[in-house]
Structure 1
Amino acid sequence: YDEKKLEELRSKAPWTSDPTYFKSVAVSPSAIMKMMMHCHSGVEKGLKKGGNPIEVMGLLLGRPDPSSPKTLVVTDVFPLPVEGFETRVIADDEDVVNHMIALGESMERTRREKFMGWYHSHPFDVGIHSHCFLSQTDLTTQLQWQRAEDPHGNPFLAIVIDPLRSLAKNVPEIKAFRAYPPEYNSPVPNQCPDGSIVTSEQARLELWGSCWNRYHELGVEYYMSGSARNVMGILTQNFLWMRTLGSTPMLDSENRQRYPERVAAAAEKLGKIDLGTSTTTTSSTTTTTSSLGSGGRMGTTSQQSRGRAYDYNVNRLLTSSTAGAGTSGTGDKGASKEKELGNACQGVVEL
């Protein structure tokens, strides 16, 4: 990013005059991973103690985006030794505050970035609605941060994570918020933090808590830095075998749908092949086949004959060495039949 443009944006601080200035948040993959791991650790810790999941808290590292001024960028996160229950998660311990100050100074000195927000979890239960909202305590904490940081060119952000719902849905359940100043009132009646209009008071409380009209939501998106993208590109080129080992054709929906069709087509082709009587010698086994064609033997039906021919030849294709196998007697004819069988079964064997 352009440091000069960033400093200009910080000095102007347009967010101080427009409570809804920021519209979106871009979060790095590493930051998402760290937050989710931290929140899940709180869930596990609480359950292991025989109680409810524990809320956790951490700090966000990042900046406003000078190329897209109405976007905040979260580059990294730092978990804090702060735990709580329900809606009371605050960093009021003196040692924790001193740790935050020292860590913040170190980040500004070494990485030229500031702490620009905080995150915490709401591991209440898995219900119909997400538990990503700001409680009264959360709102008070966020307002304190904004009053202290916003005027100095560092707009502060709050992120709330619902770890239980994230586990249930298998995707991060995360929302980002900023608080309205006390003197600000939304010009749109009954407008919720996400911009929707909800007239039912009970519905508003269920979705956004008792402070539903005192904060607004920012859209969350994910980004990957140029260096991370280059690493992923190298891995994709050099380790394609990982994709091969980690995938199965039968997992593909098209292959699943066409599998019965391929089996039927292979069976039909096998039924049309006249094997006659031949002796084929491979490197390890000598096998004699007789009367497996359309005539059958010992009174078997043509359908049973085709089934036996299919079973025998599929098994032979999968277990014997077809490349470089020696033939005796009718070698050329046997090789021709083998090729014919291989073509018939190819669509099935690939799966």
Structure 2
Amino acid sequence: MASKEGDDFQNAVQNDGMAEKKDTTLSSTPAADARYRFDADRLQTLQSAAPWMKDPRYFQKVTLSPSAIMKIMMHCQSGVQKGIAKGGNPIEVMGMLLGRPDPDTPRTLVITDAFPLPIEGFETRVIADDENVVNHMIALGESLERTRKEKFMGWYHSHPFDLGDHSHCFLSQTDLSTQLQWQRAEDPHGNPFVAIVVDPLRSHNNLETPELKAFRAYPPEYVSPALNECPDGSVESSEQTRLEHWGSCWNRYYELSVEYYMSSTSRNVLQQLTQDYLWIRTLSRKSESSVTQRLCGCVKPFQSASLTAASVVSGGRGTGLGPGGSTSASVSSGMDAQTKEWQKAVSNLADIASEDMGEQALQSTKEQVFA
């Protein structure tokens, strides 16, 4: 448990200082500070204009508060742990998002908080106790009306599938139907809805940023001006690739960029707490994905050595039309190259093994000290 807490704290430190990477970034600008203030008049003006009703791709960005992203990730990870603890597959979970469109930053949705729902599912099919869920949402909604100024403006759920070559953040047919129903019900009333999909397994392996994406559905009558345009705006000619990355409804929704915001005060406090205490990094563990990438990199020298050996053998079995002595020279040269490649591969593997032994020793020490 102590190691897990160290990981979480280190993730917060890393996320606080991260620059833009992929489609995620962290902001502590004056605009981010403004997101903690609620200007009812400006928000009402924006909601009355409802520009998203005229432009299916009006919103381009979603920004999440620290509270929202922490609740979302903890809920999604709990589904993984619960499913595995029962001896089965990770469980898909779902929750609601609280927020508003941002009157200060055009085309941006602000998510201020998140609330889990008593819904569990498997794969892309959600199994819900309807009466329980409805009663829970009614009670939650009534409570928020008394205590919060924001409204429900989105939902999130997890896709805890196997660790594949690409992210599992996409909308299934069921997801798309749910999102479209929400948009039809809420968008006309000044409350645009967004869907967030989380890949908790890839998020667990990536210690830098959570693996999640935000989407909005196209209205049924919308036709993309670009042929084979994917939700991220890319054009993919391969149907198989489109289906693998974005599901069967790949042309009925689009992706919004995701960022995280933090107030300048919170950022300064976190920096003061961490700048003189870099030793806390020893409480965290290295990213498993980075170790895997290094191991995969060690395969290349082996492959190169095999190709070199094959070419040498092939050259030695030629017709003998070349100058005399060329075969033995090529064999000698090939053997030297092969030896260098093998030495490089062995050296890399030795480094990884040595680092892993150090990590194991450090982990054992942490368990004795903090357990």
Q: Same fold (TM over 0.5)?
A: yes
For residues 216-253 of structure 1, the C-alpha deviation after alignment (integer angstroms, 9 at most, x for no partner) is 000001110345335435645xxx553356579xx9xx
Q: How does 1:262-281 map to 2 (within 5 A)?
A: none
CA displacement 1:50-88 (0-9 Å, x = unmatched) = 111100000111111100120001111001110000101
- How do 1:223-242 residues align onto structure 2 when only pairs under 5 Å count? 223-229=261-267, 231-232=269-270, 235=273, 241-242=276-277
Displacement after TM superposition at 1:200 (Å): 0.6
Q: Does residue 207 of structure 2 align to residue 172 of structure 1?
A: no
* Alignment match of 1:152 (pick from 171, 175, 189): 189
- Quick one: distance in 1 between partners of 2:69 and 2:280? 27
Among the aligned pairs, what percent are the same residue?
A: 72
1:91 and 1:97 in contact (8 A); partners too: no
CA distance in 1: counterparts of 2:96 and 2:181, whole angstroms: 15
Q: Which residue of 2 aligns with 1:187?
A: 225
TM (normalized to structure 2)? Answer: 0.63
Mapped contact 2:121–2:128 kept (Cα < 8 A): no
Is the Cα–Cα contact under 8 Å of residues 228 and 237 in structure 2 kept in the other structure? yes
* Counterpart mapping for 1:74-223 below 5 A: 74-89=111-126, 93-170=130-207, 171-223=209-261
SS in 2 for 1:216: strand
Gap regions ≥5 residues in structure 2: 1-37, 287-371
Q: 1:51 to 1:91 in 2, by over 3 A?
A: closer
Could you tell me how far apart the structure 2 residues matched to 1:244 and 1:42 are?
A: 32
Show structure 1 runs of 5+ residues with no match. Answer: 252-351
1:60/1:115 contact within 8 Å kept: yes
The structure where helix makes up a greater share of residues is 2
Q: Distance in 1 between matches of 2:279 and 2:120?
A: 43
1:111-134 alpha-carbon deviations (Å, 9 max, x no partner): 101111000000111111100000
Distance 1:90 1:5 in 2: 40
Measured after TM superposition, the shift of residue 92 of structure 1 is 6.0
Please state if 1:41 is matched with 2:78: yes
Structure 1 residue 59 corresponds to structure 2 residue 100: no
CA distance in 1, matches of 2:235, 2:95: 32
| CA gap 1:7/1:90 in 2 versus in 1, 3 angstroms | farther
Change (3 A) 1:227 1:100: farther
Give the stretch that moved more between structures: 4-13 or 151-160: 4-13
> What TM-score comes out, normalization by structure 1 length?
0.66
Superposed displacement of residue 188, structure 1: 1.1
Distance in 1 (CA, whole Å) between partners of 2:178 and 2:108 is 22
Maintained 8 Å contact 2:118/2:132? no
| Partner in structure 1 of residue 353 of structure 2 | none
Q: Distance in 1 between matches of 2:201 and 2:106?
A: 33
Pick closer, same or farther for the CA change 1:247–1:209 going to 2, 3 Å.
Answer: closer
Distance 1:176 1:145 in 2: 15
- In 2, Cα distance between the equivalents of 1:89 and 1:147? 21
**C-alpha spacing 1:245/1:59, structure 2 compared with 1 (3 Å):** closer
Q: RCO greater where, 1 or 2, for CA within 8 Å and sep 6 or more?
A: 2
1:7 counterpart SS class: helix
Query: Deviation digits for residues 157-206 of structure 1, max 9, x if unmatched?
Result: 10000011111222310000000011111111110000000011000000
SS of residue in 2 equivalent to 1:89: strand
Report 1:245-260 matches (<5 A).
Answer: 246=281
Give the distance between the partners of 2:148 and 2:265, measured in 1 at CA: 16
Code of the aligned partner of 1:222: Y
Looking at structure 1, the residues matched to 212 and 281 of structure 2 have their Cα atoms a distance apart, in angstroms, of 29
2:154 alignment partner AA: G
SS at match of 1:22: coil
Task: Name the count of aligned residue pairs.
Answer: 246
Whole-Å Cα distance in 1 between the matches of residues 220 and 92 of structure 2? 27
Cα contact 1:90–1:141 (8 A) shared by 2:
no
1:49 and 1:17, CA in 2 relative to 1: closer, same or farther beyond 3 A?
same
